[in-house]
A and B are shown apart, each in its own frame.
Chain A
Amino acid sequence: MKIYLDNNATTPVDPQVLDAMLPYFGEKFGNAASRSHSFGWEAEEAVEHARQQVAELIGADSKEIIWTSGASESNNIAIKGVAEKYADKGRHIITQVTEHKAVIDPCKYLEQHGFRVTFLPVDHLGRVDVQQLADAIKNDTVLVSIMHGNNEIGTLQPIAEIGRLCKQRGVLFHTDGCQTFGKVPINVEEMGLDLLSCSGHKIHGPKGVGAMYVRRKRPRVICEALVHGGGHERNMRSGTLNVPGIVGLGKAAELCRLHLDSEPARIAALRDRLKDGLVAQLDEVHLNGHPTERTPTNLNLSFSYVEGESLMMGMSEIAVSSGSACTSASLEPSYVLKALGVGDELAHSSIRFSLGRFNTAVEIDYTVERVVAAVRKLRAMSPLYEMAQEGVDLKSVSWARD
């Protein structure tokens, strides 16, 4: 039995999405920018329909949707594109420490190119303090970028409150919506969003395609393009459109919208079943991230005294991910968990379970049993567990290091 609980990393394409895409490879293969023949027109029609499907999911106008190669690109356009376009207005950007690297790295890049970036800290549950954000806004602040839901720990930021603040202060507000688009209700008006990044492959759509919401009214937002050459997508992203991918993303968005009232709740119930099952049989299990303000599909737990990679090895037929240093090429533990102040030892002991549309209760129950068995086995092998059982306060031990 192979079980996939790493849906925050990517998701299987929904069969309905694949069916919608297929005609656009061989049959309706036209370039959507070919204005002079029906091959182009039918591709364009499909692209415009997909724009509408995405827009409806977030309460936007379809003219406000730009196609990209994925949310990483959308984040880059939003941040670098706004910075460049509005550089005369100011060169200060505000973001926070638990953003995805696709937001942090463009910000760091801008720091090397004459911009100032404030990286706001988060509390122990992963939330930014809106008052701190308000205090950080200066006369030359042009952009605030705060993600909606965190990809590692699931914590939701107070987006609507931040949106209101940014509107008051006349600062553009971008949010990376990768983990919430299609899972949590989003309304760009109610949330005061100016820019939103969306990913296809996180919502059972194809990889290699994403979208951006770019506000057209009150105010009209323009991003300088990163990719020039033909002026596609309102001059913000040139290049022949990935028509099959776009059709897929549109269909995926539509499926999310049609089931937004029931699906997220169903998956959240499975997620809670997983958590409850584990907590009922194991002690010293810690939830990372906010207990209630979190995406419905995410469960990030630390199992004290057990290291994450060894735990994954002990349940190797179940796909999950870990914040442990041992699982990263750089041997650094998760910077998100560090930012929470979780402590390196618990960061090394963390496992992220992220559920999706195709997970079942049977899989969850099996996972509970496997995780419990693996944790027990590893605790029996753990010198830290042994010391804890003996009543040693691990924080008071001075460890021998090289």
Chain B
Amino acid sequence: MAYSNKVIDHYQNPRNVGALDRDDPRVGTGIVGAPECGDVMKLQIQVDEHENIVAAKFKTFGCGSAIASSSLATEWVKGRSLDEALEIKNTDIVRELALPPVKIHCSVLAEDAIRAAVADLKAKLEARRARAAETAPQAAAK
């Protein structure tokens, strides 16, 4: 099974390897997969005050196709809003990387990682808004 040049490129020159601060209120973290399956992806996104994704980082335990899929995912989410990030489909990743059938599940996991990160961030932002809403009426009342 020979790798496509794009997969090799992502391995040799991975984009956005690293970590963002999990505790940062503007950072969402998604961890998907399991060691027993041979694939674990951690994908993190950071938004600006308009909730557009300005930074993304990934770490992956998995084969070359898994690494490339998650690396590509971090490239693609940057510049998108949270809802636009959810539009990324695994089939887009398959096409871009020319993944063979046996590696399609890697792209599915990458899509899941994006969703998990977005869900995590949305939950955090929602909780923050809820807290702000609680204190606001009291502040107004003072």
**Alpha-carbon separation in the docked complex, A129 to B30 (Å):** 45
Query: Are B40 and A324 in touch, CB under 8 angstroms?
Result: no
Query: Are B31 and A309 in touch, CB under 8 angstroms?
Result: no
1/0 per position for A377-402, CB-CB distance to B under 8 A? 00011111110000000100001111
Query: Are B37 and A401 in touch, CB under 8 angstroms?
Result: yes
Q: Answer yes or no: A362 CB below 8 A from chain B CBs.
A: no
**Alpha-carbon separation in the docked complex, A401 to B108 (Å):** 12
Interface residues on A, range: 20 to 34
**Complex interface: chain B residues within 8 A of A402 (CB):** 112
Known contacts A310-B67, A344-B35, A344-B36; decide if A381 and B102 are in contact (CB<8 Å): no
Query: Are A383 and B38 in touch, CB under 8 angstroms?
Result: no
**Alpha-carbon separation in the docked complex, A384 to B63 (Å):** 14
**Alpha-carbon separation in the docked complex, A306 to B40 (Å):** 11
**Chain B residue nearest to A313 in the complex (CB):** B64
Query: Are A313 and B3 in touch, CB under 8 angstroms?
Result: yes
Q: Answer yes or no: A326 CB below 8 A from chain B CBs.
A: yes
Query: Are B62 and A310 in touch, CB under 8 angstroms?
Result: yes
The total number of A-B Cβ pairs within 8 Å is 85
**Complex interface: chain A residues within 8 A of B14 (CB):** 381
Query: Are B38 and A324 in touch, CB under 8 angstroms?
Result: yes
**Alpha-carbon separation in the docked complex, A394 to B34 (Å):** 10
Which of the residues B8, B38, B41 comes within 8 Å of A313, measured between beta carbons?
A: B8
Q: How far is the CB of A32 from chain B (nearest CB, A)?
A: 40
Q: Answer yes or no: A280 CB below 8 A from chain B CBs.
A: no
Query: Are A383 and B8 in touch, CB under 8 angstroms?
Result: no
Q: Answer yes or no: A341 CB below 8 A from chain B CBs.
A: no
**Complex interface: chain A residues within 8 A of B40 (CB):** 383-384, 399
Q: Answer yes or no: B76 CB below 8 A from chain A CBs.
A: no
**Alpha-carbon separation in the docked complex, A399 to B32 (Å):** 7
Interface residues of A in 273-332 (CB under 8 A from B): 305-307, 309-310, 313-314, 324-327, 329, 331
Q: Answer yes or no: A345 CB below 8 A from chain B CBs.
A: yes
**Alpha-carbon separation in the docked complex, A134 to B90 (Å):** 54
Query: Are A384 and B61 in touch, CB under 8 angstroms?
Result: yes
The 4 closest A-B pairs by CB, nearest first: A345-B35, A399-B34, A383-B42, A344-B36
Question: Would you list 14 pairs from A and B whose C-beta atoms are within 8 A, ordered by A residue?
Answer: A309-B64, A313-B8, A313-B63, A314-B11, A327-B63, A344-B37, A348-B35, A380-B17, A381-B59, A381-B60, A382-B59, A399-B40, A400-B31, A401-B33
